Structure 1
């Protein structure tokens, strides 16, 4: 079992009397964001180590506890040792740590105890020196029995430092913090102003979850521009879903009435809104909602392609458009079912919409449908070959 232990004892640098863990971050508090990361890494129990309890902290813990994993406040190593399962592995997050899912996934992996470290003592992630070479970078994976050992120490020991020393003495593996992780937003900071800036960097990293070329170069860039402003104003993801649905339904209706170019433009706007909503849901740990946004993009693209094929067949009195549209949708569905990890150049629902739009404006729908059908076939072949290589 994996448990999480978050330290929340330090005050914010620029807000007197406010715990850094309760500072705003990404439309929630920093503590709630850390809980989201731990749940995403597989933690089945989370403890928050505190020196004092404030109303803001209680509110953050209560909201974090609604994610389906118990979140308990502990005031000492003794309380933590009592609450943690004796056979669990404990993923420890330093006070005021900001990080991202790839770092958490690496540190939550099976194996012996480990410490995330950096060799740069001036790094914003460097917290405490471990030896002549490495500084702790804010995450540790330790066995639960270390908590019991620290609980038996004199009270004047610092909980966090003692836990680190126990891991060092046990020869914990040192996992080096990479430049990619640091650029993605891994750091420790107790300033509300800097956390707001860092929140934007983490938001940008979250938009990279969609990897194909159309998403990376167009929809991801749009999401990166507007997402910080939406989060700052606490716009709910459901609002983006509603607006995207409005554009999507309008676009499909326009296509059904033979306004193909305008309808596809509306569908692209809906796709951009759904992509932004998915990134926002991912930030807040709402994985099911993020998957729903992805499903909406896929449904919208399939409906647009099928309507385009139907309109082409009706206007030309031939089955060519309909056959090409059905083939494109089925071939892409099969490539998704393969389970292969997407490559940058592979086809995606948003890519098909982008490709089809200029053909619609040029009144060459049959040609555009042929192009995306061929593209989806090539994507399926690549996905099958990738699956065979893994087997």
Structure 2
């Protein structure tokens, strides 16, 4: 059976100037966008938003989703919403104003039969609809297209969300308890912006992801967090930041070739945090960037071009072929070290050579005017990293 999603977006924020629960701000976007991206990540299609009126904030949210390739359909009536689903389709129901973590959505979306997710009827959970004396609806359910159509036919003036929930419970739909414990899911019913503060903190923290080399762990995080906080509410696309890092790397090669060493190194240093900022921004918007995509793959190549241009300039201005040999050795060890790290198929130690590590390592030598010393240090760093990676690969093979 195909999986679709029906998101309710009808409730108004009290004193909110015409805003809906669905348009409450969340990590630079809206709650509706987060809900729709969750549904899309669970492979739901179509994604239908039931809305009685369309304020500009909701229309802007839908436009952003469409621009990112998430096809959202708007339905002004319950009958319009039901018409999008075939009788045998599974329909993921997402309550108006619900924030749910991805694990909860994936868990219920995988159900093969109608199911209602529940939480205990505890103090402070009045925003969640009560099912019985012991449990409340967690805001997520799976119905069939037939159940949705049948409910629509008898609805009259009643509320679809509550009526369909009641019909599911009365028909014997399985009740799936939200998992308790230290890693319990975050389920919130939001009716005002402050209700989503905890959710936004969790999203921002989750966007940090795993850190790679020592630069990403200890040098760039502060820059990344500062930039992401200011960019997450803008229309800046994550891919633009990776492209900017690539452009700066290409410019650095031209600067080095022209003999402008300071400008070249400055361009490389500015490029260092940009792809990380893009990755965090993409994670916030639930569209993670792959480090295997074209832009990421070009970054090490053009960093090698910049290093070559620097070595040639150093040899031509200061004389001697030693700079060329050192540059060639550095390039060879960077490449060979990368191959060994991929062959090891395990998480590499953070200190091993990387594009970002080589750039940052060169900075103190440049500040001291020791450009040749910086080149030698980068080459030695790459060589030591290659030997370490090779040892790990050999140990794994044994």
**Cα root mean square deviation, aligned:** 4.2
Tell me how far apart the structure 1 counterparts of residues 211 and 111 of structure 2 sit (CA, whole Å): 26
Matched with 1:372 is 385
Q: How many residues are matched?
A: 373
Q: Which residue of 340, 354, 358 maps to 2:357?
A: 354
Deviation at 1:128, TM superposition (A): 2.1
Task: Give the direction of change, closer, same or farther, for the CA distance of 1:159–1:284 in structure 2 (3 Å limit).
Answer: same
Tell me how far apart the structure 2 counterparts of residues 165 and 86 of structure 1 sit (CA, whole Å): 19
Q: Is the 8 A contact 1:275 1:294 kept in 2?
A: no
Q: Is the 8 A contact 2:269 2:359 kept in 1?
A: no
Matched with 2:193 is 192
The higher radius of gyration belongs to 2
Tell me how far apart the structure 1 counterparts of residues 285 and 194 of structure 2 sit (CA, whole Å): 20
Matched with 2:207 is 206
Matched with 1:389 is none
Comparing 52-61 and 80-89, the one that deviates more:
52-61
Q: Is the 8 A contact 1:113 1:173 kept in 2?
A: no
Task: Give the direction of change, closer, same or farther, for the CA distance of 1:54–1:305 in structure 2 (3 Å limit).
Answer: closer
Matched with 1:328 is 337
Task: Give the direction of change, closer, same or farther, for the CA distance of 1:179–1:302 in structure 2 (3 Å limit).
Answer: farther
Comparing 95-104 and 195-204, the one that deviates more:
195-204
Deviation at 1:294, TM superposition (A): 6.2
Deviations 1:232-273 (A, max 9, x none): 355454653454345433445566689999966753542311
Tell me how far apart the structure 2 counterparts of residues 118 and 216 of structure 1 sit (CA, whole Å): 38
Task: Give the direction of change, closer, same or farther, for the CA distance of 1:239–1:69 in structure 2 (3 Å limit).
Answer: closer
Deviation at 1:119, TM superposition (A): 3.4
Give unpaired runs (5+ residues) of structure 2: 313-320, 366-372
- 2:92 counterpart SS class: strand
Q: Is the 8 A contact 1:306 1:326 kept in 2?
A: no
Give the alignment's TM-score, normalised by structure 2. 0.74
- 2:139 counterpart SS class: strand
Tell me how far apart the structure 2 counterparts of residues 122 and 355 of structure 1 sit (CA, whole Å): 55
Tell me how far apart the structure 1 counterparts of residues 283 and 108 of structure 2 sit (CA, whole Å): 20
Does the alignment pair 1:140 with 2:138? no
Q: Is the 8 A contact 1:93 1:140 kept in 2?
A: yes
Comparing 269-278 and 69-78, the one that deviates more:
69-78
Matched with 2:323 is 315
Matched with 1:388 is none
Deviations 1:6-52 (A, max 9, x none): 01111113414322212333343332332222222211201112344
Q: Is the 8 A contact 1:126 1:135 kept in 2?
A: no
- 1:139 counterpart SS class: strand
| Correspondence 1:333-348 to 2 at 5 A | 343=347
Give unpaired runs (5+ residues) of structure 1: 386-391
Matched with 2:284 is 283
Task: Give the direction of change, closer, same or farther, for the CA distance of 1:246–1:191 in structure 2 (3 Å limit).
Answer: same
Give the alignment's TM-score, normalised by structure 1. 0.75
- 1:85 counterpart SS class: coil
